[in-house]
Amino acid sequence: MATQVLYDAYLTVTNAAGTARDLSARVRSITVDQSQAMQDDTAMGDTFTSSAVGLQSWSVTVEFLQDYIADANNAVDVTLSGLLAIGKTTALVIRPTSAAKGSTNPEWTGTAVLESYNPVSGSVGDEAMASATFSSAGALSRGV
């Protein structure tokens, strides 16, 4: 059985100005979560519960090594802080590795809203960290 070690994940986030920023070098961990709301469609006479698929949703949770470099193109804080505006969406591109997308390196793309951003996190002497959660604002597509 083949397995893969995740050590080179790829993430781009489109900033508030509409420019895609590669934040891969700052990603410590990333989780893509896809789900479907299940609707109970059990009726009288059924002897087991029955479910139908409702709306789908997805989210991405990322833990970043933080930086506060104001003029850096691919800095975490300057990219994310402008996305916390009502109605502001961002485009995400995620791959298991930084290599081109393909059958062994699928790519997930979607439009999301930045649901939460913790720009300062850590204890004395720790690496400065930041976490962010992006929630679906449209479909998440998988491409190869």
Confidence band for 2, pLDDT divided at 50, 70 and 90: confident
**Spatial CA neighbour of 140 closest among 98, 108, 101:** 108
Q: Distance between CA atoms of 11 and 23, rounded to whole angstroms?
A: 6
pLDDT digits over 11-63, tens only? Answer: 999 998 899 999 999 999 999 999 999 999 999 999 999 999 999 999 999 99
Q: What is the DSSP string of 5-64?
A: ---S-EEEEE-TTS-EEE-GGGEEEEEEEEEEEEEE---TT-SS--EEEEEEEEEEEEEE
pLDDT digits over 58-88, tens only? Answer: 999 999 999 888 777 789 999 999 898 888 9
Q: What is the C-alpha end-to-end distance of the chain, expressed in Å?
A: 21
**Spatial CA neighbour of 30 closest among 110, 94, 122, 112:** 94
pLDDT of residue 68: 87
The type of residue at 71 is D
